[in-house]
Amino acid sequence: MAIRIPRGWELPERLATPEHLVLNRRAALASAGLGLGLLAPGMAQAQGAALAPMPAPRSTKYPPGREVTPERDATTYNNFYEFGTDKGIHRPAQALPTRPWTVKVDGMVEAPREFDMDDLLKLMTLEERVYRHRCVEAWSMVVPWTGFQLSQLLAQVKPLSGAKYVRFESAALRGVMPGLRQSWYPWPYIEGCTIEEAANELSFMVVGAYGKTLPAQMGAPLRVHFPWKYGFKAGKSLVRITLTDQRPKGLWEAIQASEYGFWANVNPEVSHPRWSQASERLLGSGERVPTVIWNGYGEQVAGLYSGLMRERLFV
């Protein structure tokens, strides 16, 4: 996966990072070449050895309208910059210690709380949802995620009426995340949404994929998913969720606000400044298909934005 011959469709993915980061990725690709002989057998171990089954009833409410992406493709082509800038970070990511794990839910809430991950799993009602995922780099996938609605978690801490936004903070573990040495990134990885978006039925906290415990490279043990937004909004390996009256500034927005904004809702008609968003490449088949407004979830989310048309909703 690390060594590929670039084709036309790969251009956006290569351009998706600021120029100096692209140079860095090239260096990573060059050094990955040294391990080429190990790459193919490594794929079999992509999900690590310790993934436990995580059965949960599959919801039929949100049919994805596309075939599920083969597990191997979805778990070996990842963005998780804490582990490096190339798509093959499933190997280094296995070093992430996902237990014990706690997630703090705090800020403008009546009952702030630090949850132990295993306690949280017992507290929440788990279900499986098959969602589309559209990366701003113009690739996409369809994954059966196991998890619970974000609203279920927020109910536990009772948001105060002044809370307007939710801020998601990812783990930043110096010892195990080589990407943190790239000090020009404003770590930790931060993302955010409005309280209305967080309360939407689609906003989902993910703890598993393909009927198993979430693999490290997908953001174990807990990540968020907003299926109608570009993938960078979906913070991985969360350690803190904070309700606030300040609009959170994401890591990508902090680096390049003109390209990666706060809202980042999927819209095929609004191009990224450096490439078109009209279509996307499906992980697995490699087929190129048209991108759909709100990534196909307009029925659930379009109403959230009716009063916000002056905002940059699609960048």
Ligand X SMILES: Nc1nc2c(c(=O)[nH]1)N[C@H]1C(S)=C(S)[C@@H](COP(=O)(O)O)O[C@H]1N2
Q: Which residues contribute to the site for ligand X (CB under 6 A)?
A: 78-82, 135, 170, 189, 218, 231-232, 234-237
Query: Which of ligand X, Mo ion, none is residue 208 near (CB under 5 to 8 Å by kind)?
Result: none
Bridge-based pairing state of the strands 139-149 and 190-194: unpaired
**CB of residue 264 vs Mo ion: minimum separation in angstroms?**
10
- Taking CB under 5 A as the criterion, the residue among 185, 232, 260, 314 binding Mo ion is 232
Rounded to 5 degrees, what angle do the CA atoms 208, 39, 221 make? 20
Would you say 280 or 304 has its CB closer to ligand X? 280
**CB of residue 208 vs ligand X: minimum separation in angstroms?**
12
- Taking CB under 5 A as the criterion, the residue among 92, 107, 219, 231 binding Mo ion is 231
Would you say 109 or 135 has its CB closer to ligand X? 135
Name, in order, each residue with C-beta under 8 angstroms of 81's C-beta and a sequence gap of 6 or more.
179, 182, 185, 189
How far apart are the C-alpha atoms of 274 and 262, rounded to whole Å?
18
Name the helix (H) or strand (E) containing 15: helix 11-15
Query: Which of Mo ion, ligand X, none is residue 272 near (CB under 5 to 8 Å by kind)?
Result: none
Would you say 108 or 265 has its CB closer to ligand X? 265
How far apart are the C-alpha atoms of 119 and 116, rounded to whole Å?
5
How far apart are the C-alpha atoms of 51 and 70, rounded to whole Å?
17
Would you say 105 or 203 has its CB closer to Mo ion? 203
**CB of residue 253 vs ligand X: minimum separation in angstroms?**
12
Would you say 159 or 210 has its CB closer to ligand X? 210
Q: How many CA atoms lie within 13 A of 59 on its CB side?
A: 21
Residue 266: other Cβ atoms inside 10 A: 27
**CB of residue 108 vs Mo ion: minimum separation in angstroms?**
29
Query: Which of Mo ion, ligand X, none is residue 80 near (CB under 5 to 8 Å by kind)?
Result: ligand X
Would you say 46 or 157 has its CB closer to ligand X? 46
Q: Which amino acid would we find at residue 31?
A: S
How far apart are the C-alpha atoms of 280 and 181, rounded to whole Å?
32
**CB of residue 120 vs ligand X: minimum separation in angstroms?**
19
**CB of residue 63 vs ligand X: minimum separation in angstroms?**
20
**CB of residue 183 vs ligand X: minimum separation in angstroms?**
16
Contact flag: residue 89 with Mo ion (CB under 5 A)? no
Residues in 275-314 at the binding interface with Mo ion, rule: CB under 5 A = none
Q: Which amino acid would we find at residue 17?
A: T
**CB of residue 46 vs Mo ion: minimum separation in angstroms?**
19
Closest residue by beta carbon to ligand X? 231
Name, in order, each residue with C-beta under 8 angstroms of 80's C-beta and a sequence gap of 6 or more.
89, 93, 179, 217, 219, 236
SS3 119: helix
Would you say 200 or 237 has its CB closer to ligand X? 237
Rounded to 5 degrees, what angle do the CA atoms 255, 256, 261 make? 110
Contact flag: residue 234 with Mo ion (CB under 5 A)? no
- Taking CB under 5 A as the criterion, the residue among 56, 130, 135, 266 binding Mo ion is 135
Whether 156 and 113 have beta carbons less than 8 Å apart is answered as yes
How far apart are the C-alpha atoms of 47 and 42, rounded to whole Å?
10
Residue 114: other Cβ atoms inside 10 A: 12
Would you say 121 or 283 has its CB closer to ligand X? 283
Task: Report the interface residues with Mo ion, using CB under 5 A.
Answer: 79, 135, 231-232
